[in-house]
Structure 1
């Protein structure tokens, strides 16, 4: 059951992930298309996801559509859960990530969800910058990050073994003042 609202946009709402929502994580982590784009070749078990859920250095939020706007918990059937955004604390520079179900990709939800997440991070964390990573072959994610003002900062050569080959991870960064001046 989706939890409390963290941020609300024009078409989507970010809500806290509750233990009962781990099925959304498991379906996403088990979808070969999503795993390929996020660089996770290994299928995660429910126990793996429980560990991620319990990790104090990771904040996971549900990306929801059809939200009635009630700030508190809602009935699962009134909210369409279409993806996940997350923040991993990495020193003073949190790293953001996102995945959406394939049936809603390409409709602008990813950009809205990422923008809401960046806004949340700059309000919740005392950080000069937000980081993100996309794999070299993931043009959609790279384009999304660049459209929000993220700048390429580096390349992690042979960062992950995906579908039988090593792939590079492209690091992106967005400074707080860049974000604030673009709003």
Structure 2
């Protein structure tokens, strides 16, 4: 069952991820294309994914469509869970991440979800900046971040081994005053 509403947009809602929703994480961890784009080459078990939910330094939220807009938990049949966004407390600057199921990519849901997440972070964290990382080969995520005003701040050379080769990670950041 999808959890409480954290942030509402025009077409999507961010909701808390409950333990019953680990199947959404499994989808992302099990989809080779998502793993390729996010640089997560390791396939993780349900138990490993459930441990992620217990990490106090990571907040994982569901990206939902077809939400009736009622406050609090709703029946699973009323919510279409299409992806995940996350905030990791990375030193003093939160780092955001996101992915959507392949059937809904390219519809603008990712941009709306990422914008809602950045807004949530600036309203919830006392931080001057929000960080993100996208792999050099993930042009869609890089374009999304840049369309939201994120600036390239650095490169992590040979940051991950993906599909038989090392890939560079591109670090992005946006300052609070740039977002507002």
Length-normalised TM-score, structure 1: 0.98
Deviation at 1:48, TM superposition (A): 1.2
Q: Secondary structure at the match of 2:144?
A: helix
Deviation at 1:28, TM superposition (A): 1.3
Q: How does 1:6-155 map to 2 (within 5 A)?
A: 6-155=6-155
Deviation at 1:92, TM superposition (A): 1.4
1:92–1:126 contact (8 Å) kept in structure 2: no
- 1:104-147 deviation per Cα after TM superposition (whole angstroms, max 9, x unaligned): 00000000000000000000000000000000000000000000
- 1:30-79 deviation per Cα after TM superposition (whole angstroms, max 9, x unaligned): 00011101001110111110111100000000000000001110110100
1:158–1:166 contact (8 Å) kept in structure 2: yes
Distance (Å, rounded) in 1 between the aligned partners of 2:80 and 2:131? 28
Aligned twin of 1:157: 157
Length-normalised TM-score, structure 2: 0.99
Aligned twin of 1:175: 175
Distance (Å, rounded) in 1 between the aligned partners of 2:61 and 2:161? 26
| Aligned residue-pair number | 180
Gaps in structure 2 of 5+ consecutive residues: none
Q: Secondary structure at the match of 1:74?
A: coil
Structure 1 runs of 4+ aligned residues shifted over 4 Å read none
Gaps in structure 1 of 5+ consecutive residues: none
Distance (Å, rounded) in 2 between the aligned partners of 1:48 and 1:159? 22
Distance (Å, rounded) in 2 between the aligned partners of 1:33 and 1:4? 29
Q: Secondary structure at the match of 2:93?
A: coil
Distance (Å, rounded) in 1 between the aligned partners of 2:150 and 2:27? 29
